[in-house]
Structure 1
Amino acid sequence: MTQAPLRIAVVGAGIIGLSVARSLSLLNAQVSIFERTHLGAGTSSKTFAWINSNGKNPDSYHALNCAGMREHVALQESEQAEARWLDVCGTYEWAADLLQQERLGARALGLQARDYPAARISRTALQGRIPELRIHPRSGDIWHFPSEAVLCPSLLLARLWSEARQHGATLHEGVDVLDIDERPDGVTLQLSEGKPWSGAHVVLATGRWTPALTASLGVTLAMIDANQPNKRACGFLGLTAALYVRLRANLITPEMNFRPDGGGRLLLQTPDLDDRADPAYQASTDGLIGQEMLARLRRTFHNTAHARLDNLSVGQRSRPADGLPAVGFITPRQRAYVVATHSGMTLGPMLGRLVAQELVEEKRDALLKDYPPDRLLNKSVSDFAPIATLHYPAAQ
């Protein structure tokens, strides 16, 4: 007799949630997605979306991110629609401060030793590729990381949801999960729309909101509070109007990070200013942060004297207390499963496949060996050492 498909709920419709939902539906699970606002409304809509494993440690985390990069390429190559959401455009990075130059060089050589593509490039060659670029004369070696990419989150979300829907997944927007009742044989969600949902498993792909939901199971999960000012969890993102700058690649420069965002627009990041980012305060494009971003932009590129910011926002990142992923069951009954991670853009599609494999086929991939949530359960952020800058060169 044919076994009935597993009924699985996915809470959260960002990159992680939709990646999980897509992969579950491809394995014939009966998937219901619950999203409190709308598709992609959380961190997935405010992100630099840099796909990389540049300086990510320890080795197992580097391997996880490299696998995520390969998964993105394979997924893009399987795309049948015309739109491309992934651009393997590479990253160029350089530093002006001597200490930062030494750290960059050591990181790049370390990546080479891990067979991660990295090579020096001359100023002349780079300015030939980006003619409008200005490079400060005190800048040191320029490093090129050609396998890195940027993506358009909205187009990736469209791909993930389209495929999940085609394989039977349903999306419930504007529905909040009020409570989770876990039993030995399944789980029930109490929903804001009134009618409960019951099934075999629930996957919490709720990013920075995860601790609020694990609390309903009597479990705390140590994550940095992204609702409070904290440069590890919050960061400014500036979006320019269209510029006369021919930039395709991702740039990590001494003053600011730049990536193309379509139609001549650039997305800007200023990691050294992120200690001023407050999610409770809507930064003004005409304020001090906005004006500083524009000043740095004009120092970096020709043709930007009249540049303006169309938007300045504060992105709120999902970050477990030790900076590393938490992927797995969070209770002994193994009905509630959590996926909480930084680098969600890089890891999303790959984690979706591995999570679905574990839930449906009961096989846990070796890439997840070091990342069960146990180390974070019933602890607080103060129980962990501060996240090392080494994990995250620049801001990702």
Structure 2
Amino acid sequence: MAKRVIVVGSGIIGASIAYHLAKEGAEVTVLDAGEPGGIATRASWAWINASWGNPEPYFRLRMASIARWRALQEEIPGLAIQWCGGLIWDLPPAELDAYAAERAAWGHPIRRVTRAEILALEPNLREVPEHAYHVAGEGMLEPLAATLALLEAAKAQGAEVLGDMPVKWLEEEDGRVTGVITDEGVIHAEETVVAAGAHSAALLDSVGITLRMSSPAGLLSHSNPAPRLLNGLVMTPGLHIRQTAEGRIVAGTDFAGAEPEEDAEGLARSLEAKVEAMVKGAEGLGLDFLTIGYRPTPADGFAAVGRPRNRPGLYAAVTHSGVTLAAVIGQASATELITGARDALLAPYHPDRPSLT
């Protein structure tokens, strides 16, 4: 008999878990407080990568997810991923070289490129450095479209997706989580997956489980559409940019502890001005709109995936880097929920680790 599973949250993590569960024959219901597609997912910069200052186990997890994304692209019609590569020079030169050497020793296909090679990859950039690093295997997707494609693929396998269905708290009986309580009443299941992003901690708290996490705001500016000006992802000091399928240049930066909500319009216009100064052909594009996303981030910065306190009937999947990690978390979580076998790549990321409880 098929295992009945509720997935709370229809962002890219919840959608991937739902798809992988349904593919394995589970009876899946996805619940979301708003429209399917989640909240943080919609405002993601949507970079699929194994870069940045991650320790080797997290690097391995991210590389596995990149491989799974490539497989998913073959499995799911309408899942569009651009494997466009990424240029990186957003660290001081000595730190950048040390970072690249470490990644190369781990087997990362990161390549040093000269100024001439940078301009060959991105001819519309101004003021490029003498050298940078390029990773050809990195990609980007349109986060809402990709999430909806995963949900449609789950539905094709029999899953039910219900929007405008907020979960008030988790239902528990004799120490086992038996489902969720909504405004429509109790919905029962053998397993309940909490993949509700910034709201995950509150839901877990409803059954006495602590998950230390934060939800820092991230702001992105979106230009008016333009002809193709960028070929891939570009990470520079103070500005990260990519161009969407519809031609908008999406820009973000690290606000170094500032609260972007306090002057969102001003910060977005500042980002857009940097874009227009950096990219030839972007002059006068202007800001079309901005987005602010609240990134669900466990307290130590790494994913929290598994059964909190080994509570029967309950599973949690909370992470920043959701776009990169959704593919492997979806696959590994579904396997663990159905068979009980835990992927070794998830070993460091149990939600019961001391930094989170």
Pick the TM interval, shorter chain: over 0.9
Partners of 2:71 and 2:209 in 1: CA distance: 37
Q: Post-superposition, which runs of at least 4 consecutive aligned residues in structure 1 deviate over 6 A?
A: none
One-letter identity of the residue aligned with 1:92: L
Amino acid paired to 2:292: V
Is the aligned partner of 1:166 residue 2:144?
no
Q: Does 1:188 align with 2:179?
A: yes
- 40-49 or 178-187: bigger deviation: 178-187
The CA distance in 1 between the partners of 2:107 and 2:187, in whole Å, is: 47
When the two chains are superposed, the root-mean-square deviation of aligned CA atoms in Å is 1.9
Question: Which residue number in structure 1 is paired with residue 312 of structure 2?
Answer: 334
Please state how far the C-alpha of 1:376 moved relative to its aligned partner.
5.2
Equivalent positions of 1:112-123 (< 5 A) are 112-123=104-115
CA contact (8 A) 2:115 2:132 kept: yes
Equivalent position SS for 1:125: helix
Q: Which has the higher strand share?
A: 2
Is the deviation greater in 83-92 or in 337-346? 83-92
Partner of 1:283: 264
Q: Secondary structure, in 3 states, of the residue corresponding to 1:374?
A: coil
Q: Could you tell me whether the CA contact under 8 Å between 1:330 and 1:373 is conserved in 2?
A: yes
- Structure-1 separation of matches of 2:73 and 2:230: 21
> Structure 2: which 5+ residue stretches go unaligned?
none
- Deviation at 1:56? 4.3
How do 1:1-396 residues align onto structure 2 when only pairs under 5 Å count?
4-79=1-76, 81=77, 83-95=78-90, 100-136=92-128, 139-183=129-173, 187-193=178-184, 195-224=185-214, 226=215, 233-272=216-255, 275-278=258-261, 283-284=264-265, 288-375=266-353, 379=357
Q: Structure 2: which amino acid aligns with 1:28?
A: G
Whether contact under 8 Å (1:20, 1:351) holds in the other structure is yes
Compute the displacement of 1:179 (Å): 2.2
Change (3 A) 1:6 1:120: same
Q: Distance in 1 between matches of 2:20 and 2:204?
A: 23
Aligned residues: 356
Instruction: Give structure 1 stretches of 5+ with no counterpart.
Output: 227-232, 380-396
Q: Secondary structure at the residue paired with 2:264?
A: coil
- 1:22 offset after TM fit, Å? 0.8
Deviation at 1:155, TM superposition (A): 2.5
Q: Give deviations 1:208-263, integer Å, cap 9, x for gaps.
A: 11111011101111001x2xxxxxx2221000112345212000012311011122
Show CA shifts across 1:78-114 (max 9, x none): 33x3x4521111101125xxx7111111111111111
Pairwise CA distance, 1:27: 1.3
Per the alignment, in what secondary structure is the counterpart of residue 288 of structure 2? strand
> Does the Cα contact within 8 Å between 1:101 and 1:140 map onto a contact in 2?
no
Shift in Å, 1:301: 1.4
Contact 1:257 1:268 in 2 (8 A): yes
**TM-superposed deviation, 1:304:** 2.3
Check conservation: 2:229, 2:243, Cα contact below 8 A. Answer: no
- 1: CA distance between counterparts of 2:299 and 2:135? 28
1-structure distance, mates of 2:315, 2:141: 27
Shift of 1:58: 2.0
Conserved? CA contact 1:222–1:376, under 8 Å = no
